[in-house]
Each structure stands twice: as C-alpha cells, then as structure tokens.
Chains A and B, each alone.
Chain A
Amino acid sequence: MLRVEEIFKDYDGKPLLKGISFQVQEGELVCLLGSSGSGKSTMLRIIAGLEEPKSGKVFWDDTDYTNKPTYERGFGLMFQDYALFPHRSVAENIAFGLRMIGRSRVEIDDIVKKALESIHMSDFAGRSVTELSGGEQQRVALARALAPDPLLLMLDEPLGALDHNLRTEMLKDLRKRLHDSKKAVIYVTHDQEEAFTLADRLLLLHDGNLVQEGSPETVFTQPTNAWVASFLGLGNLVPGRIVGSDRVETNLGQFKVSSSGLEVGSQCMLLLRPQDAILDEKAADMPNNLRAEIKDSIFQGEYYRLEVLVGQTLLHVHSSKTISIGSTIDIAWTESSMQCLPVM
C-alpha cells in the first residue's frame, strides 16, 4: 500500500504542492486529475524518487521510501512521451527492467515473450522502437513498465500523445489491462473522460491542494466546490449569495434549494445541470421557473443543445427535441437537482 503524507514542493520559488496526503491500496486504480501545471506529474515524480519533496514523506507498507534512490524502489512509471530507448529493440526495451533486477536470461526471455503476446506484438520483438506507430509505442511502454512486476504502477498522461480516435480505442484496452494487472495504479490525466472510465477513485488536484477525493459517481453527483464542477464541465454555474438556510439569490432571481450547508451571506455558485433541466409546459408551474429565449439549437446526436438567454445570463440545457430559435419557453430545475457550491 502506498501512502504519501503532507507532501510540499516548491517550483521556481512558488509553492506547487501544498501538503498532499493520500493512499493507494493494492488492486486499486486511482486517477490523479487536474489541469496542466497543477503539479500532478510532479507528484508522480516525487513518488518515483525522481524529485525530492520540500517536506513530507512517501511510505510503502509503512516503510519510509522518502530517501530511497529511484532504482531501489521497485515502482513502475510510464512517461507521457513513453521514453522508449531508441537504441534498443522492442524486446530489449521490455527486457531492460528485468535485467536491472537481475533476472536470469531464461526468465527474461519467457516474460518478454508473454508480454509481447499479451499486447499482440509478438512479431515486433526485433523491431526498432522508432519504427512503431504511436499506439504501438504506447503498448510497448506499458509492457515495459509492467514486465518487472512493479509494486506500484504510475502512468503520466499515457494517452496524451495519441490522436482522438486512437485514444478512445486505447482507453478501452488500457482499462482492461490495468484492472487485470491487479496492481496499485496511479493514473495522471487532465482528461475527465479518461478518469471517469478508468478510476476506482478520483483525486482532484487544484492550486496545490487535493480539493476532492472519491469515487467517480460521488465526484460527479456531489462536487465539493465550483472549481470541481467547472473543471469537470458539470453544467451552468451561476454566481449567487446565500440568503437563507435553503434560499439563494442570483441574477436569475431567488431559488429555493435543498440545504447547502453554507453560511448565510456567503458567496456561492449555483450549479444547474443541462441534462436535469425541465422544459416548456412541464416547467410552467414549477416554483423555480425561468422565462428563457432560445438563441441557438445545436444537434448533438442523442439530444439538442439549447443556448438560452435568461435576463442577461446565457445558459445551456439539453432537450430531446429542437425548439425554433427566437421563441420563448419556460425552464426549471427541481429543488433537489440544484446545488449550491462554495466558490473555492
């Protein structure tokens, strides 16, 4: 089990990580999610021993790893650019870690053969890694990281270098392979779709702090603050102020919401999810009903995305059918589907 405690790290004199603590159990896949520059890669590098924290500790099964050299940690790390050794063949790349930990030639050959089979690249053993496509390189890099059977596998934006179509395909493959490996896995990404697809647990990193931790469902249904909702693209965020235990005042008017737990008088963001919007006649007699002018209606496949203007505020909602531009309709959200989130 990996445990990091109160990790602090400065970069160029500015604090990058401000006391990060979390654990990863064996067989658990944790996604570290954050925007670029949030320090998620640095967190991985500290766990791998490639960088020193300013303070804080890294433990594996209660053994302090903080000052252990990288090469003695027995962790696996897959780089975003894969870092496949260009002077070595596919098989030699996969064998590298096995040679370093002193496995016998016979064992190495056997493991490499199986690894190549598992990624369906047995014919590629002697190829130069520079001849491989992006997807092939990705698979070899993962096989190389897994070959020495690491205690912990870390992946730094493993799909970041691939184009969109290949990404979707590799994501499915990756999900299966990572879950089959039954390892403790930390997966770093800025892409919420990847995170939701893969993670047992999400860690959201923002401004040097872990702002939320939980299963994808929890994070999706109960974001802890407005940044999380905005970063995950959960819906419209309307600035407001708490005026009563269940009332919030916004530019769109006053709303009755289920209790937010926020102090009366504090600023907040009201989250209005587009898929929860109730439209037209059904909304007409609801308490939080808004008059909205349709500015645009965009076909999205399973639904239409409506851009609507309420007063001075532009919102977007999902609709099962298109509505003509320029017309005015009623829109409402139920009390329980609206959430008041702290600004930060």
Chain B
Amino acid sequence: MNHLSSETFDDNARSALADVQLRGALRNATSLFGKRRLAAAASLQNWEELRSQARSIKDEVLLHLDQYLEQFVANAESRGAKFHWARNAAEANQIICKLIADRGGKKIVKSKSMTTEETHLNVALEAAGMEVVETDLGEYIIQLADETPSHIIVPAIHKTKRQISELFTSELGIPPTDDVDKLTATARATLRDRFAQADVGISGVNFGIAETGTILIVENEGNIRLTTSLPRTHIAVMGIEKVLPRFSDVDVFLKLLPRSGTGQRLTTYQSFITGVKQDEAAEGPNELHVVLLDNGRSRMLAHPITRQSLACIRCGACLNACPVYQQIGGHAYGSVYPGPIGAVITPQLVGLEKTAQLPYASSLCGACREVCPVKIDIPRLLLHLRGEITEAAVNKRRWEQLAFKLWALVMSRARVYRVSAKLGGILQRLLVRDGKIGKLNKSGWLAPPLLAWTSGRDLRPIESKTFRDKWQSELKQRD
C-alpha cells in the first residue's frame, strides 16, 4: 500500500520528480485534459455566467445547509429512502458494515466514490470479512495494484498501458497486450460475474436534490447504473455539502461538471434516483440507504473563505491546471484529495498539524481559480491556511518565524533597510564569482534558502549601486 504521508510531502515530491515514467504520464494526461476542458468551455458562450450562477447556488445552499439537508432528507424519506448520519469516517464505516452484516450481505460491488476513499471504507469492509470489488475501471486497476487513486477523476492516471497490462497479467492471467480495448474488455468480462452475484451495491453521490429528495450520480462506464440497480440493497455515501436546492439547478451543474472534468458535453449516463421502487416486482433495489458524512465539513462553514471549499463539485480541473500537480502527481500529497483542492481541504478535514506542508506546496499562480467551475478562490484559501499555520506555530519553523520578525523590523524602517542592503552587499562578496552567485556547497549552510536557490539557478548579486543610489546621484537632479 503506498501509504505516503502528507507529513513527508517534500520527500514524496522528490521521489515523484525522479520517476520519469510518472512525469511523462502526467504531462500527457494533464495537457490533454487542459485542451479538452478549454474547448468544452469555449463551446458555451455563457460559460462565465454559468460559473457565477453555480457559485451563487452553492453559496445559497451552504448558508442554509441545515435547512436544505432537512428538506432533502424529508423528501427522500417520503419516497422510501433511509438515512444514516455519520459524524466521522469511523462512524460511516461502522454504519455501512452493520447495514450489510444485518442483511447477511457478503458480495459487494462498489462504484467510484472519493467520499468512501476518505473514510477508507474498503479497509473496514475487508476487516469485517466482506468481499468488495471496485467496478470503475480506474478504481479496479488501483484495487488490483493495492494502491490509492492519484487523481479525483482518473484514478490510474499515473499508470501506463504497459504497467496496467503487466498488472492484469499477474492478477488475472491474461497475456500481455498494448491494446486498450482488450484491457477494457478483460475488466468488463471479469466484473460481469461480480455484478450478477452482488447482494449490495455501494455508490457515491454527485448531487442530492433537496426539492425532490433525488440523488444524482454521473458516469461514463455503466458500472454505477449496474451497482445501483442490480443488487437488492443500495448504499449511497454522500458528503453533507452535496445538496442542491432545486431540480432545475441540475441544468447548470450538468453543463459545468462534465466539461470541467473530462471535456465532455455530458457524461454517458446520469442516474436520478428518488427513493425506492413502489412495486415489489419492479426492477431496482428493495432498499436505499443514504449515509450522510460530516467528517469535518460542518466546521468549514465558520468563515466565508473556508466555506467556499464546500462548493467543490469534484471535477478535478484544478489538478490538471496546477503546475505543481503536473510535476508530482497525486500520491505525493499523501492525502485522499490531491492537487489544489486537496491542499486546502485536507488541512481542514484532518487538522493543520499533520498537513502543514500542503498549503505551502503552491506557487500561488492562480491557474486553479481560473478553471474552477464554481469559482473557488483557492489561492486566497491557501494564504488563509498559511496564516493559520504560522499562528498556530505548527509548522515547526522557529528560524523562519525569527527571520520574518527580523525582516519586518528592517522593512518598516527605511534607514535600517538601507543599512542592511549595504551590509548584504558587503557580506555577499564571499559568495559572488563572475558577477553572480553560482552553485554553493559548503558556504550554503549559512542560509538554507540561498543553498536551495543556487542548487539549480544562479543568483543576481546585490548591486553596489542600488536604485536609491542612482536616484540620488543621477536621476533626482532632473526633478
């Protein structure tokens, strides 16, 4: 199990950067996704309007989340759905294991749900002696490889065809092949039996519609439809923030989500499930259980800057646009949710202490904000979290804190600033060669940032005549 931790993010990132195959895979995938998203967004003249509309709907829901949740639950319950509230991951897993055990369920099929990744549901199910198979192709591949997903939309984005073929050969016994259709057909054939025999289907939920009590789930493969219509019992796991107010709101989100996620106008299938069947003899499950998960989400409501985290519709566009994610991929973050959105929700869900590196793993370029369909201002969130981290002093950077205190002292007094610039200009003579500061070795220990900079870049030295000097001596006279 590649259980990388976010505490070792810097090491994780270094390993990822050394993985040539991974970097190639990421480069191809993210640039392709980027092009497709751009083309799909450009195909709608009112794209910007739609983003604003979606954000305002989300703001409306979040500001009245308790009311919309209650409405959603009441309407779904009136149609036969049963609800279970989980305060945290462990409780969610307990509820689900008990639901299945009480029904004598043994064979479980599961469709892709990041929320169940968050709770590590499969680990709990297996510990309870239950057999669970992931049916989304990417998730199936990950499950066979005993790994975790590295992208919100394309879980096996980090794997090449060759690697997948090798995996299928060792786990499923098929001959090696480069043919994607053959690999896909193998997965289809292997999973058909599992679908046919499953007594429980577990899915996620993309949106819960309060007005009608409907859960909406979107996909391309058909495994969600099979998971949610074949087995007797359907368990749907949903984060509490996934509510939308009205049935008609689906229009905006179905325009934004597929285009942002994969560049499609619509994913192949949308399943709108409202309660359970009225007629015993009809198709579909006999029971629908919806598990509502908090796990730290309600806390995020306490400030407008953090509340917007909950607007996320899990499209993955920010991952594809992020220059950091493009280089290191998802596993390096050591968190369930990677990339820009992961860097902001993980510290909030899990706590600042173990995740303090993540909000700093960004150049604040803002590409994520540009592509987010619900206009989450991720850079602003990152800065907010950085402020929280330094204030809580969890990042264990005593020297850095002292350095910035000193910096503030110098920068708030012009004369001290000028003197320190002169001082710097003198001290640097130890390091400057041929008009620049090149790669440092021993001398670098004096200032780790200097060592870090010069590992790959030359550095311009402080000039002997600064701008101020030139203003005084040449430019000012002309005034």
- Asked whether A and B interact, the reply is no
Binding site for A on B (CB under 8 A): none
